[in-house]
Structure formats: C-alpha cells, structure tokens
Chain A
C-alpha cells in the first residue's frame, strides 16, 4: 500500500508533467501547495510583506518558465526554495533592503497558537526582535539560518540549495549564530535599560 507521502509525490509529478506541457492550471495546484513555505522564506529574507509577495510571485513565475530544467529526481520543494532564496539574495544585493519598517513587522500575519492577547503581544515583540536580527545578517548567512531552523534542512540540503560547500554552510551557520546571540544580548540589554529608565522617569506634569 502506498503511503500518503508517495501519493502526494505522485500527484506532484503528475501536475509537473502537465505543467511542462503548458498547462498553467496544473501548476496552480503546486502554487497552492507551496505558496506558504515560499512566501515565508521570502518574508524572512526581505522583511516586509510587499517585497515578499513580489519575490514569491516571481519565484513561481521563474519555476514555471524554467520547468524544463527541473530534475525529477530532486525534491520540487528544495528546487523551488532554491529559486526563491537566490531571487531574494539578488534583490537584497540590488536594493540593499536591510531597513525594515516596524509597521510591517507588527502587521505580519502570525498564526499564533497562544491564547491571551498579552502573550500574543509579547510573542509578536519577540518575533519582531528575531526578524530584526535576521535582517542584520549577510544575505547568505541569513538564508542558511532560515533553512536550518525554519525548514529543518540538513547541511547537505542547504549546500545544494544555496550552491555552497558543506564546510562553507557550517562556517556560515556558526558565524551567524554567534552574531545573532550577540545581537540578541545587545537588544535585551537595550530593552532592559529602557524599562529601567521608564521606571525611574519623572512623570509628566
């Protein structure tokens, strides 16, 4: 008996073959399936919804146009994410979109499982901090971190996706972790001292 995963892969291959023959509607099924991981990657890389939407759309357009180059032995998701990552890296290098508006981060659609509104606000703030830190990393370091922690990719998969050697992936991850920890500590110190300052502030008369 075929497992659900095998069935999904069979469906995927069927849609891909149809799309290869120019059937855009079949490709729509693949978009429905992968829009969330692709969009999430673009959002984590670029830091705002508008650019993420544009990058995700462009990723699917490129994938559809270059479907002939897709190797059916490889995972389609990995191929797609590789296109998305490289597109985002190109965009970042072109525009240097490292400045992110706070409004964009706050209005981010976070599927929050936490119950109370207070906890939701706290988590949103923390996530905002994480995203800010991510945006301070170099493009490739950022992509490596996202693939490792959000997509649970192995070193080999990341190296394949980003076209880097395994040792380069390891060193990039190491450097990124170190930088992120330092930035987290700095931000915590800043927010801590801000809290202290607020506590002893002269009240407004």
Chain B
C-alpha cells in the first residue's frame, strides 16, 4: 500500500476500523516519516488533552450590563437619526423643484415666471382641493361621524406620541453626553 494513504490514516484514527489500525501500526513501525509525525501528533494531543481553559476577568457580567445600556442608547440615537434624516430628506426632495424654479438665468423674467407659476400652482391647488372635496363628501356621508372623529383623534394622538418620543430620545441623548 502507498505511504500517502497511511499518512492520511494517521490523522483520521477515530474513523478507522481495527484492521486499518493494525495496517497503520505495521507501517508506522517501518516508516521514519510517519513515526515522526505520529510522535509529534501524540505530543500535541497530550497538551490539548490537558484542556486548559481561559477565563475572563472578574465582573464580566457587570461589564456586559453597562455595555448593553450603551448599546441601547446608541440604538435609540440611531432611530432618532434615521427619523430625522427621512423627514429632512423628504423636505429636501420637495424643496428641489421649488428651488430650481427660483434659481435660474435672468432675474426679472424669472421673477415674472415664478409669479406666473405660483399663480398657476395656486390654480392647480384650488382645483385639486375641490377635486378632493368632491371625493371626500360622499366619504363623509358613508363614514359615520363617530368613526371620523375617532380617526382624527387617532391621527393627532399618533403625532403627539411621536413628538413625545422624539423629546425623550433627545433627553436620553443629552444624558448620555453628560455621562
């Protein structure tokens, strides 16, 4: 049998049957290289068998607790940041067309154009509002008054809750900075 196969067997002893183990033993007795490798592996195994375990320093759990607090503050800051970024991003997107319409070549013509556009925009807005009202009127008849009132209250409560949450996040953030 080939030497390479025995060398392979040398490191998979757990998976060998008794016959293979015997063949390997016979080979190891005559092969210098395999003998050296086996000795090296046995020495190493002896060290690994002592199973020395490393322990963390005292107070590991307490350190984790303070790390958790820091992590939670960071998460809240992240959420507040994203909420702010989304709001700011939305406002920015709406502002771009307005900005572009204002900033252009000739100031005088552009001012007139801007006035014209504002008047057109106002006209469109008026049309849009009247269109929405025609849509909402039948809805007002269909939706009972109590439900409508409920919806309005829920929306306002949601807004109020958001504002309170934002204030709390801001407070936690400022406390974090103070700490």
Contacts and interface: CB of A to CB of B under 8 A. Distances in A.
A31 B53 contact: no
B47 A126 contact: yes
Contacts of A44: 54
Contacts of B43: 184, 188
Contact of B54 (A40, A64, A123, A184): A40
A35 B63 CA distance: 12
A56 interface: yes
A130 B44 contact: yes
Nearest to B13: A177
B12 interface: yes
Contacts of A177: 11, 41
Given A123-B50, A181-B40, A35 B11 contact: no
A185 B67 contact: no
Interface string A29-62: 0011001110110011000010011001100110
A110 interface: yes
B95 interface: no
Contacts of A129: 47
Contacts of A18: none
Nearest to A108: B54
B53 A111 contact: yes
B56 A56 contact: yes
A112 B52 contact: yes
A130 B48 contact: yes
A100 interface: no
A86 interface: no
Contacts of B67: 57, 61
Nearest to A56: B56
A125 B179 CA distance: 44
Contacts, number: 100
Interface in A53-106: 53, 56-57, 60-61, 64
Contacts of B54: 39-40, 43-44, 49, 52, 108-110
Interface string A121-156: 001001101100100000000000000011000000
B15 interface: yes
B2 interface: no
Nearest to A178: B11
B60 A31 contact: yes
A24 interface: yes
A21 interface: no
A181 B54 CA distance: 23
A150 B44 CA distance: 13
A7 to B, nearest CB: 22
A61 B44 contact: no
A36 B56 contact: yes
A111 B60 contact: no
A174 B55 contact: no
A107 to B, nearest CB: 11
Nearest to A149: B48
A182 interface: yes
B55 A109 contact: yes
Given A52-B54, A53-B57, A181 B41 contact: yes
B47 A185 contact: no
B60 A56 contact: yes
Nearest to A38: B56
Instruction: Give 7 closest A-B pairs by Cβ, nearest first.
Output: A185-B40, A177-B11, A181-B41, A43-B54, A39-B56, A31-B61, A181-B40
Interface of B: 7-8, 11-12, 15, 36-37, 40-41, 43-44, 47-57, 60-61, 63-65, 67-68, 71
